[in-house]
Structure formats: C-alpha cells, structure tokens
Amino acid sequence: MDTADERERPHDSPRQSVWGYPRPPRVEPSARRIWVVLAGVTLADTRRALRVLETSHPPVYYVPPDNVRWEHLSPSSLHTWSESKGVASYLDAKVGDRLVREAGWYYRAPSPGYEALAGHIAFYPGKMDACYVDGEQVRAQDGASCGGWVTSEIEGPFKGDPGGRDR
C-alpha cells in the first residue's frame, strides 16, 4: 500500500539543467505540493507556490503568506539586496526552544517584473529539518547565501557547489 507522500512523488519527471534557466530570473506558478518542517511542525504547506528559476541556481519556492504558520516566524534585522528582485527582509523561525535565525526571506515591495513575489516566503532548506516538493525531500543548494531546492530532476553544477561555476 502506498502512502500519500509516495503518491505525490513525481515519476519520470523530465530532467532540468539549471544552465538552461533564464537570466534575469523568471517567476512562475507551481501547483506542486511544497511543504517545510522544523522541529516536527509544518511551517508552510501549499500547492500555490511561486517558483523562481535563475541560471546556475536550483529553483527557489516562495510560499503564499496565507499558507505559512506565522506564529512561528518573527522579523530578523537582516536585509539584503538582489539586483533583480530588490530588498529582501528575513525571518527567524522558532518552534518550542528551537530558534533558527534567518530561516527564510521575502520581498515587501519587489522590483518591477517581480511583483508576484510580494509577501511570499522562501525558506532555506538547509536550515529546516526537511523541505519537500511533491513528497521528495529536497537537498539544500551549497553556499551560505543560496536558497535553492535541489530535487532528483534538477541537474547542475550549481552556483555554490564545489566545482560549480561562478556565473
């Protein structure tokens, strides 16, 4: 008997090279089930994520704000700037005694062309206990500032990986 997670796992998904992704980045809707877990609590769960594709990076999934457990998130003092998307604001995550600093980020007022991202939250898979795409647990993109979600269908080398390209 299969579980719900096994039924949602992609079968024979086409392989995607990150070197075929666009520059500047593209935002596209995704109906795949995306969920994020920290300390046994699901912080986010949606089938309405936005996926950002950018040359040399695995996809980053942004979860709509109404599919996020806000009681576990609080603003961080960190803000960074993306040449394409604008100013990012960061969030800390806390579940019980477990605190993860800068667990994710969002854009309050993204740059023109990226308005759809406004308020959507992206989580760093390497800082969470688990992140999933259609039942497949993702691997975090290497590199401290990289938030890409690596699945079995994504091919590199990725920016940030040992031996990966810089651009």
Per-residue pLDDT at 145: 65
For residue 141, give the DSSP letter. Answer: P
* Residues in a beta bridge with 28: 51
Per-residue pLDDT tens over the stretch 46-59: 999 999 999 999 99
Residue 24: CB partners within 8 Å, gap ≥ 6? 54, 84, 113
Give domain 4-150's CATH architecture: Beta Complex (2.170)
Distance in angstroms (rounded) separating the CA atoms of residues 76 and 92: 6
Judged against a pLDDT cut of 50, whether residue 155 lies above it is answered with yes
Judged against a pLDDT cut of 90, whether residue 126 lies above it is answered with yes
Per-residue pLDDT at 142: 85
* Residues in a beta bridge with 100: 93
Per-residue pLDDT at 59: 97
Structure tokens at 156: 């590199």
Per-residue pLDDT at 2: 37
Residue from 125, 142, 2 nearest 61 by CA: 125
Domain boundaries, the chain: 4-150
Distance in angstroms (rounded) separating the CA atoms of residues 146 and 15: 21
Per-residue pLDDT tens over the stretch 19-45: 999 999 999 999 999 999 999 999 999
Distance in angstroms (rounded) separating the CA atoms of residues 139 and 124: 10
At 159, the pLDDT band (50, 70, 90 cuts) reads confident
Per-residue pLDDT at 9: 40
Lowest mean pLDDT among 68-77, 117-126, 139-148: 139-148
Question: Global pTM?
Answer: 0.88
Distance in angstroms (rounded) separating the CA atoms of residues 66 and 63: 8
Q: Is 100 helix (H, G, I), strand (E, B) or coil?
A: strand
